[in-house]
Structure formats: structure tokens, C-alpha cells
Amino acid sequence: MKPIDEIQKRLFREVADLHELPVGAYNLRANGELAGRNTTANVDIKTKDDKSGIDITIKPGTKHESVHIPVVLSESGIRETVYNDFFVGENCDVLIVAGCGIDNCGTQDSQHDGIHRFYIGKNSKVKYVEKHYGSGEGTGKRLLNPVTEVYMDEGSVMEMEMVQIKGVDSTDRKTIARLDKNARLNVRERLMTHDTQSALSSYSVDLNGDSSSADIVSRSVARDSSCQRLDLRIAGNAQCSGHTECDSIIMDSGKILAVPSLEANNTEAALVHEAAIGKIAGEQLIKLMTLGLTEQEAEEQIINGFLK
Amino acid sequence: MLELKNITFGVDDEGGKFDIIKDLDLTIRDNTFTVITGPNGGGKSTLAKLIAGIRTPSAGRIYFNGTDITDKNITQRAQLGIGFAFQQPVRFKGITVLDLLKLAAGKPLSVDGACSFLSEVGLCARDYIDREVNASLSGGELKRIEIATVLARDVSLAVFDEPEAGIDLWSFQNLIRIFENMQKSRKDRTIIVISHQERILNIADEIVLIADGKVQKQGAKQDVLPNITGTDAAISPCSRIL
């Protein structure tokens, strides 16, 4: 195992708030290689035999434990697809922190495609935090194409925080969820693109069980000449409730296409979508300027708040 | 001292250009509590925005403590010590009450410090400090937070545009107490309030009556107030026509 260098440390801090090795189970991956692993009595992590990636198994009844599995790339030209499967037993309450940071100072593209599958047992609660971040002055692109699949058993709860604020040139993120009876999914996505970046974020949620519910809220900002497409689909296949919301700010020459899609296959499905795209309201800038901020400072504060 | 000299401000109307403020002269003395009143549509709010730099006059000059601020923008005027409370408070997604008060203070502000400003406007700080300044707050709550942002700035010239509007569930007495405390806490503070309310006019040092884009009367409360209460000076043009 190679030691973690300073650039990698910085990336780990950005994507997983790691200032030192985390408490609990973790699996650190740097430049395609294992950079650290810890398992606990309740959380096991095993390298897959057939392809790149890990299996994380959380014993039934595990409460208040965390699993960190951040990935960093600091060498130009690395391209990898990693399959991570989470098997969460029944009656658990756990925090899972993932995320990928790429620093590309070279001329070749660096790419990480993380395919995460969650199998969440009955009445378990999972909080999942995923941050994506890019840095580096090289001409090589920083590419991230995550896929997240969530299979939720009866009465389970999944809260997802998906954040990509800076530095990723191109992303195509797909999130798929299937919910059984009484399962609940909450997603909070924060996305900002700048320069000539492009981002596609699509959600496809199937509410299959009675009393299942999903609440998906995406807030995004497109600056400079960047473009975004947000596809949010919820299908109600039972007595269920679903809500999606896209709320976006466009600036400069940014472009955003929001495509909401609601599919009701049951008369008891209650589905709602809200979408709003617009520039920063002039009166918001004026208010903050009357507090002594410059127009640029006011703009930053408004965006920071919006993406918080 | 705030001096407005020969100020004109016009807008493009359907029938051509229409002057809301017409060659207006006004001097506000230091350390006074001045209430600007007059009928709706008479130019009061426009005047307040001209002072804060939100509107730019088409003619005339504005001086603040001897400095010509006509060409200074909103930020520069704020940094010179001019505060402005909006008639219609602005909402922000994601910015909390604490965030906004910190921005207003312009320096590190403890939670206790922020709470004292909220308590001053009659809000239980604990319930509000982490709330977002968004549509989940009522009009009255937003209005009080708006006033708290001006308190947090500790400015030498505070301009309040109809502060009483929308705070009907809160007593007038509290609003009046805020103005009194503002004056007590800093002797060199000048307060300008745009208002129709007789109870606010009653605590003024000076009253300015604006109608048809001009100063119709200005003077000490005891001289001006008897001339405008009970007359139609403060009634809107529509009411007068009907």
C-alpha cells in the first residue's frame, strides 16, 4: 500500500471531510489502488473477485456506525470503473460517506465511474453522503459518471446528499431507486457547473409498495458557458406519494434543461413536481449591497446559500 | 447631514416621460428623527431609494456629510454608513436569519449577538436563528428580520421605508421603542422613516410632507403635524378623486 501524499490528503478532505483516518469502517482508494481499509465487528469490506470494487456487508441491527469509502485520483490519465455493493441488514442505522476527488495536472483525461448498489434491509435507515470534486490546472479533463442503485425493503429509509460543486468537467450521473412498502427516500442534490462543464443528472424512482414515498430536491447553478440537464422521473405503482423539485439558477451563458416526469400507474399514487429556473433576482443583490457587499460578493453569498 | 439638491427622477410612462421627483430640495439635519409622509404615489419611497442609491436621479446632486454621493453605488453608500430597510423584504433560499445578520454586521457576530437583534424586534431568537429567510416566514416575520438587519449594521443614517406595513400583529409601541433605542444607543445617528402612521409622526423631531414629487412642508413636528392631520394631505390621490 502506497502512503497517501499531500494532494490526495487534500482531495480526501474535500470529498469526505477527512482530516485523519475516520472512526469505524473505511476503504480508501487512491489512483486505482487500495490506500487503507478498516473493518469492524459489524461492518465487513471485501475486495470483489470478479471485477474492480468492494462488497460492504453491514450486519443486521448495526446502529450508529459509519462507513467511509472515498476515492481520489491524483495522476493524469487514470480511467476506472469501480463496482461497490452495499448489503445493509435489517434494523440498521448507519452513515455511509462516499465521494470522488480528481486532481488532474496533466494532459490526459482522468475518469472515475463508481457504480454503487445499495440493498437496504427491512426497517433500516441509511444516510448516504456523496461529494464530487475536481481540481488541477492540466488540460486533461476530470470526468465522473456515477451510477447509484437503491433497492429498499419494507419500512427502510434512505437519505441521500449528492453534492458536486466544483471542478468536474463532465458528469453523467444516474440514480435508480425501487421502494417497497412503507419505504422512504429523501434526496438532496446540489450541483454547480462552471466554464464549459456539462452535467447530466437523472433520477428514476419506482414507488412499488403501499405507503412508500420519495422526495427528491435538486438545486443547481450553471455559470459561464456550462450546461446541465436534469431528468427527474417518479413512477407511482401503488398507494404512494412522490415529490420532485428542480430549482436552478442560470448565470452568464449557462444553459439548463429540466425534464420532470411523473408516471402514475395507480389511482392512489399522489405525485407532484415543481420546477423553476431563473437568474438571481435583482432585488436579492440590491438587498445584500445595501448591507455593504459588492455585487460580486452578494452573488457569491446568494449562490452559497442556495447550494448549502 | 444629508442634502438633496435639485433632485429630479423620471420614469418612462406610456404617455412619455413622467417625473416622480421634481427638482426637489431637502436637507436632513444630523441626529434627528425625521418622518417623511404624504399621499401614496407622491414620491416618498422613490426618495428613500434615491438616498440609498437604489435609484439614480436624472438631475441634481446628493451630499452626505459633505461628500457628493450622487455617483456612488449602493455598496459604497452602505459602506459610508447608510442603512436601508425595504418596504417589501427580500426572500433568500438557503440563507438563514443568522447568515443575514452576520452579513449585515459585516464582522464576526456571535449567536448571542444575533439573538439580541432578534429580541429587539420581538422575535424569539431561538426559534428563528436557523430559519431560512424564505417564503416559510410570514410577511410580518420577514419585516421584523428586515428591521433587525438595519440594527445589526449600526449605521449613522438609517432609512426605513414604511416599517409599520405588515407588522400589524406586533404592537406599534415596540416599533416606536426600537427607534427610540436606536437614537439612545448612538447619539450621532440620523433616522429617516417613510410613514403614514400618526403614531410614528408623533415621535418625529421633524416632519417632511412630500406630494407631487416635491417637498410641500418641512419643519418641527409641532409646526407641521397640526397642518396635516385631519386634512387630506396624507390621503392617496385615488381616494381624493373618489
Residues of A in contact with B104 (CB under 8 A): 291
Could you give the CA distance from residue B6 to residue B61 in angstroms, rounded to a whole number?
7
* Residues A306, B83: C-beta atoms closer than 8 Å: no
> Quick check: B55 and B213 in contact, CB under 8 A?
no
From A184-193, A245-254, A297-306, B174-183, the region with the lowest mean pLDDT: B174-183
Q: Characterize the bridge pairing of strands A184-193 and A227-236.
A: unpaired
**The domain B2-241 belongs to what CATH superfamily?**
P-loop containing nucleotide triphosphate hydrolases (3.40.50.300)
Q: Which helix (H) or strand (E) holds A295?
A: helix A295-306
Q: Which of B:100-119 have CB within 8 Å of A?
A: 103-104, 106
Residues of B in contact with A307 (CB under 8 A): 94
Residues of B in contact with A290 (CB under 8 A): 52, 54, 74, 78, 83-84
Q: Which residue of A217, A219, A290, A296 to mutate against B (max B Cβ within 10 Å)? A: A290
Q: Determine the pLDDT at residue A190.
A: 93
Is A247 within 8 Å of chain B by CB?
yes
From the list B52, B86, B94, the residue facing A306 with the nearest CB is B94
Q: Which residue of B has its CA nearest to A285?
A: B90
DSSP per-residue letters across B54-117 = SS--SEEEEEETTEE-TT--HHHHHHTTEEEE-SSPPP-SS-BHHHHHHHHHTS---HHHHHHH
User: A270 pLDDT exceeds 60?
Assistant: yes
User: A138 pLDDT exceeds 90?
Assistant: no
Is A6 within 8 Å of chain B by CB?
no
Identify the CA nearest to A214 among candidates A270, A276, A277: A270
Higher per-residue confidence, A140 vs A280? A280
Which of A11-25, A125-139, B221-235 reaches the highest mean pLDDT? A125-139
Q: Determine the pLDDT at residue B242.
A: 45
Residues of B in contact with A305 (CB under 8 A): 92-96, 99
Identify the CA nearest to A203 among candidates A160, A265, A164, A157: A160
Q: Determine the pLDDT at residue B169.
A: 56
Q: Determine the pLDDT at residue A257.
A: 96
> Quick check: A277 and A264 in contact, CB under 8 A?
no
Structural domain boundaries in chain B = 2-241
Q: Which residue of A has its CA nearest to B95?
A: A305
From A84-88, A125-129, A140-144, the region with the lowest mean pLDDT: A140-144
Q: Which of B:6-25 have CB within 8 Å of A?
A: none
**Strand, helix or coil for residue A1:** coil
Q: Determine the pLDDT at residue B48.
A: 96
Is A286 within 8 Å of chain B by CB?
yes
User: A294 pLDDT exceeds 90?
Assistant: yes
Q: Which residue of B has its CA nearest to A287?
A: B90
Hey, what's the cell of B84? 436601508
Q: Which residues pair with B158 in a beta bridge?
A: B83, B191
From the list A219, A291, A305, the residue facing B153 with the nearest CB is A291
**Strand, helix or coil for residue B238:** helix
Q: Give the type of residue at B59.
A: A
Residues of B in contact with A189 (CB under 8 A): none
Could you give the CA distance from residue A297 to residue B91 in angstroms, rounded to a whole number?
17
φ and ψ of A230, to 5 deg: -120, 115
Residues of A in contact with B75 (CB under 8 A): 289, 292-295
Hey, what's the cell of A210? 403501499
Hey, what's the cell of A86? 452495499
Could you give the CA distance from residue A133 to residue A169 in angstroms, rounded to a whole number?
10
Structural domain boundaries in chain A = 6-281
> Quick check: A134 and A142 in contact, CB under 8 A?
yes
From the list B86, B106, B153, the residue facing A287 with the nearest CB is B86
Hey, what's the cell of A287? 438587498
Q: Determine the pLDDT at residue B67.
A: 95
Hey, what's the cell of A263? 408516471
> Quick check: B143 and B89 in contact, CB under 8 A?
yes
* Residues B103, A291: C-beta atoms closer than 8 Å: yes
* Residues A291, B54: C-beta atoms closer than 8 Å: no
* Residues B75, A289: C-beta atoms closer than 8 Å: yes
* Residues B54, A286: C-beta atoms closer than 8 Å: yes
- pTM value? 0.85
Is A301 within 8 Å of chain B by CB?
yes
Over residues A194-237, the pLDDT tens digits come to 999 999 999 999 999 999 999 999 999 999 999 999 999 999 99
* Residues B99, A305: C-beta atoms closer than 8 Å: yes
Chain B nearest-CA distance from A38, in A, is: 37
Rounded alpha-carbon distances, angstroms, from residue A228 to A100, A137, A291? 20, 23, 33
Q: What is the pLDDT along chain B (242 residues), one digit of tens a residue?
A: 999 999 999 988 777 888 999 999 999 999 999 999 999 888 999 999 999 999 999 999 999 999 999 999 999 999 999 999 999 999 999 999 999 999 999 988 888 889 999 999 988 888 899 999 998 998 889 999 999 999 999 899 999 999 988 776 567 788 899 999 998 888 889 999 999 888 899 999 999 999 999 999 999 999 988 877 665 555 554 454 44
